[in-house]
Amino acid sequence: MTIRFENVTYRYADGKGGLTNISFDVKTGELLAVIGPSGSGKSTLLKLLAGFMDPQDGRIEITGRDMKGVAARHRDLGIVFQSYALFPHMSVLENIAYPLQLRGVTRDERVERARKALGEVGLARAGDRQPATLSGGQQQRVALARALVYQPKALLLDEPLSALDASLRGEMRDLITHIQRTANIATILVTHDQEEALSMADRVAVIHEGSLLQLDAPRVLYDHPVDKTVAAFVGKANLWLGKVLSHNRVSTELGDIFCNAEDWQVGASVTLLVRPEVVTPVINGGAKAETSANYFHGDLVQDRFLGAVRRYDIAVGDQIITGETGYRGTVAGVSIAPDQVRILRA
């Protein structure tokens, strides 16, 4: 195990914000994404791990060693922030060689290792440039090379892509996962971008108001969120409060919905989750779906063209159902297959 948090609690001096009783592990070579809304405690988690401050309670281990009292510079972590934090008066190569200089590596070896790291991030010929002459994406590559050049025990990335424009972000996602896999290094990626987390991570931790709500593989998190907070934060979600009527029926504000409720007690309060992509539109003139178990006739109130799909809202009474489809034509209702309805605790 490279990184371990055991019941870690941190409170800022004003008593607000921080983290409460957080436990998790990151294995060697694993990429753990930490997601949560702004202010949920993501950066606090990284600052504790990096040694910029100490938890009031609990234990943090790096490669099996208790980090209590171990200064940041002795923790051997590579860190990349949203702001690239390059040294403006040094060349790109000097920036990357700097951590090696701090560690007493000889000049020749420094230059050789810095050149190799620069090549790995695709900037082999930029060594003599000044950071200010590089684009944002290039500067972030330099920051990544500088974080990895001394072969740290783990890599910490705090919103590394949020300052980049969308097309660059996709490219950098691929580069980071490629480098991280090749180096086989434990990595924590902090982001508020759930798509980034789902696409890059081996596992994803969801933090909300300083608490860890769920930690699972991306697919599990998406298909089986533990509660409605996670469901709403990860992907788009239709959520309805309901009460279990029988082994295959739940009553909700929308009406009765057929689903598999065998694991739930009759009378239990639950939340139903239906992802937009499993909502099947009934296009005007199509009769087929009206016979299916969960059919709702409604009025199209929003229709957004997103390129590959359209995302539409159907009003059913005072409830809204959001669906996604590639079909054209006027949506006159929707059907929802019972086996696509997930039941969560209320």
Q: Could you say whether residue 52 binds ligand ADP (CB under 6 A)?
A: no
- In which residue are the tokens 């696409």 written? 199
18: β partners: 11
Of 34-42, 66-74, 127-135, 248-256, which part binds ligand ADP (CB under 6 A)? 34-42
Nearer to ligand ADP, 145 or 190 (CB): 190
Q: Could you say whether residue 12 binds ligand ADP (CB under 6 A)?
A: yes
Find the shortest distance in angstroms from Cβ 48 to ligand ADP. 10
Mask for 38-57, x = binds Mg ion (CB under 5 A)? ----xx--------------
Q: Concatenated DSSP letters for 17-76?
A: SEEEEEEEEE-TT-EEEEE-STTSSHHHHHHHHHTSS--SEEEEEETTEE-TT--GGGS-
Nearer to ligand ADP, 44 or 138 (CB): 44
Nearer to Mg ion, 42 or 173 (CB): 42
Burial letters 253-290, b for 16+ CB under 10 A, else e: ebeebbbebeebeeeeebbbbbbbeebbbbbeeeeebe
Find the shortest distance in angstroms from Cβ 70 to ligand ADP. 21
Q: Could you say whether residue 43 binds ligand ADP (CB under 6 A)?
A: yes
58 binds, among ligand ADP, Mg ion, none (CB under 5 to 8 A by kind): none
Q: What would the two tokens of residue 219 be?
A: 């697919």
- In which residue are the tokens 């060697």 written? 28
Find the shortest distance in angstroms from Cβ 42 to Mg ion. 5
Find the shortest distance in angstroms from Cβ 151 to Mg ion. 26
- Degrees to nearest 5, angle at CA 38 with 36 and 43: 80
The residue ranges that bind Mg ion (CB under 5 A) are 42-43
